[in-house]
Amino acid sequence: MSTNPLKVTAVDASAAKPAKVAAKQKKSKKAEQFLLKTPKGTKDWADKDMVLREEIFKTLSDAFKRHGGVTIDTPVFELREFLTGKYGEDSKLIYNLEDQGGELTSLRYDLTVPFARFVANNSITNIKRYHIAKVYRRDQPAMTKGRMREFYQCDFDIAGVYDSMIADAEVLAVTCEGLLNLGIKDFKVKLNHRKILDGIFQACGVKEEDVRKISSAVDKLDKLPWEAVKKEMTVEKGQSDEVADNIGEFVKISGSIRETLAYLRSATLLKDSESAQQGIKDMETLADYVEAFGIDSYLSFDLSLARGLDYYTGTIFEAVTAGSAPPVDAEELKKRAQAKEVEDASDYVGIGSVAAGGRYDNLVGMFSNGKTVPCVGTSFGVERLFSIVKARSSKDWDKLSPSHTDVFVMAFGGGEGWTGFLKERMAIAKKLWSAGINAEYIYKGKANPRKQFDAAEKSGAKLAVILGKEELPTEQVRVKVLGQGDDSNEGELVSVDSFVDHVKEQLTTCHVDGVDVVARMVKNL
């Protein structure tokens, strides 16, 4: 329309992109050309991927609800001061909103700090809450190692004063159940306790002010050999050889909770560490509870697990699947590689844990002037779980439909005076919608049968309701089961008055519908 003032297209706008912006992107090797895309580190989700991800969300939220979880929704951005000082070195990855006059705010970095703010804000003393939502991290380089800048977390946390380790055991049970419900059987939950770890460091001779940085060196043991970690402790972080070697003896220990406990109990170096002894007592209690839940076989008490975040105060854990997980998303990867956003496909492999969490007893107190509410929680990494589920679902992928359409309404006719029955198709579709049935028809006045069958197949519909030139005037339609590879079968003739009931009945017998396919995929059946 000539009166539309929006004639400047995005493409034009880009052509006029100021040199300043281009200069900022000079590190990028690709030519500075307009690219119609999502911001770096973000992506669109659509089609079958979206259906699969929704089913994963449903599976996890069902697990959370099963354990009494209630859900909340907090704003995507928080007052900036609330995020400050919560993430250690990673604070530089926080996205700030522009100062447009008013409050200074930032996008949330995780769901844990907003949860603590929520608990303090609403003077909550106990809650089991789950929250499935996006978080934001300006990771650089964004696309290597499969790290996105916008990604989902699925968190379940228990806040409140309870008897020791009961909530910790339940959070571990939820973690195992979540993974099992996603058809992942081959996983281990590595488990440790910050008080034991801190006790070990202190007993080995690390000064209190060095504990967190030595902890972060130990945290790298899943990626680096001991020699490299030792070098970091001694050369970079100023510990003596003896201190490092002492630590080295401990952190190579892992096994069942009972086995590692036996080792710790016999460790003379820890006898006088109040912190370690308290942690050991906690783990003994926990051992009983995880046995009651029957999840002890999934757990590995691993003294090398340290976890990066500062706010943990007790149990910490990280679930890993056996072997390295597949690339984040093969198609996405290919696209990005073509756009030269990643150097190489191998940047993506070897992604880490699929769920992780721990106890953080002091975080709520930071928001409520010290009136603390102890918390423990778990967080599932959805993009990684998605990759695993998708990779193993390739054989059923073709059967998956992005839409939930059950019935396709068609008209057959032709010849002189043929109207195409558009209004009649609409009226029939309306009857189906009113009965709660998902139905589509082709948006054309007249369409040949082939086009309508093709559209029906694309929609994933299980049934066709066919309005025939001969049948409709006698108040009858045909109901035909689709996907039988037999288009000549004309289906069953039913009166317009009763076809809805007939359709309902037929649908209950169509086992292979889109939802079932995706449920089977996620459950790994």
Site for a copy of itself in 400-459 (CB under 8 A): 402-405, 422-424, 426-427, 430, 433, 436-440, 443-445, 459
- For position 350 contacting a copy of itself by CB under 8 A, the verdict is no
- For position 5 contacting a copy of itself by CB under 8 A, the verdict is yes
- For position 71 contacting a copy of itself by CB under 8 A, the verdict is yes
- For position 289 contacting a copy of itself by CB under 8 A, the verdict is yes
- For position 245 contacting a copy of itself by CB under 8 A, the verdict is no
- For position 292 contacting a copy of itself by CB under 8 A, the verdict is yes
Tell me the closest approach of the beta carbon of residue 323 to a copy of itself, in angstroms: 27
CA–centroid distance for 383 within its chain: 5
For a copy of itself, which is the closer residue by CB, 215 or 506? 215
Per CB under 8 A, contacts with a copy of itself among 196-225 are 198, 208-209, 211-212
For a copy of itself, which is the closer residue by CB, 238 or 445? 445
Distance set, CA 95 to CA 40, 84, 249 (Å): 13, 12, 40
Task: Pick left, alpha or beta for residue 51 (phi over 0 → left; psi -120 to 50 → alpha; otherwise beta).
Answer: alpha
- For position 398 contacting a copy of itself by CB under 8 A, the verdict is no
For a copy of itself, which is the closer residue by CB, 313 or 452? 313
Among 253, 337, 349, 366, binds a copy of itself (CB under 8 A): 366
How many angstroms separate the CA atoms of 198 and 277, rounded? 11
Which tokens in the block code for residue 323? 């072997």
Long-range interactions of 415-423: CB distance < 8 A, separation 24+: 415/469, 418/446, 418/469, 419/445, 419/446, 420/444, 420/445, 420/446, 420/447, 421/467, 421/472, 422/446
E-strand spans in 396-482? 407-412, 439-441, 463-468, 476-481
Cα angle vertex 421, ends 419, 422, to 5°? 105
How many angstroms separate the CA atoms of 74 and 121, rounded? 11
Stretch in the footprint of a copy of itself (CB under 8 A) among 129-137, 254-262, 379-387, 482-490 = 129-137
Which backbone phi and psi does 503 adopt, to 5 degrees?
-60, -45
- For position 339 contacting a copy of itself by CB under 8 A, the verdict is no
Question: Positive or negative CA dihedral for 109, 110, 116, 122?
Answer: positive
Which tokens in the block code for residue 132? 């499935």
For a copy of itself, which is the closer residue by CB, 288 or 487? 288
- For position 525 contacting a copy of itself by CB under 8 A, the verdict is no
For a copy of itself, which is the closer residue by CB, 28 or 489? 28
Among 52, 60, 111, 120, binds a copy of itself (CB under 8 A): 120
How many angstroms separate the CA atoms of 380 and 191, rounded? 16
- For position 98 contacting a copy of itself by CB under 8 A, the verdict is yes
For a copy of itself, which is the closer residue by CB, 79 or 512? 79
Among 31, 33, 89, 100, binds a copy of itself (CB under 8 A): 100
Core vs surface per residue 243-267: b (16+ CB within 10 A) or e: bbebbbebbebbeebeebbeebeeb
- For position 122 contacting a copy of itself by CB under 8 A, the verdict is yes
Contact at 8 Å (CB) between 51 and 25?
Answer: no
Stretch in the footprint of a copy of itself (CB under 8 A) among 35-43, 221-229, 298-306, 319-327 = 35-43
Query: Per-residue x/- marks for a copy of itself, 156-185, CB under 8 A?
Result: --x-x-xx--xx-xx--x---x--------
- For position 287 contacting a copy of itself by CB under 8 A, the verdict is no
Angle between helices 422-434 and 499-509 in degrees, nearest 10: 60
For a copy of itself, which is the closer residue by CB, 254 or 467? 467
Q: How far apart are the first and last CA of the chain?
A: 54
Query: Per-residue x/- marks for a copy of itself, 294-313, CB under 8 A?
Result: x---------------xx-x
Helix (H) or strand (E) holding 4: none
- For position 105 contacting a copy of itself by CB under 8 A, the verdict is yes
Who contacts 509 (Cβ-Cβ below 8 Å, separation ≥6)?
A: none
Stretch in the footprint of a copy of itself (CB under 8 A) among 96-104, 220-228, 232-240, 388-396 = 96-104
Stretch in the footprint of a copy of itself (CB under 8 A) among 222-230, 358-366, 380-388, 409-417 = 358-366
- For position 68 contacting a copy of itself by CB under 8 A, the verdict is yes
Which tokens in the block code for residue 292? 């009651």
Among 60, 109, 110, 117, binds a copy of itself (CB under 8 A): 117
Angle between helices 274-292 and 194-203 in degrees, nearest 10: 150
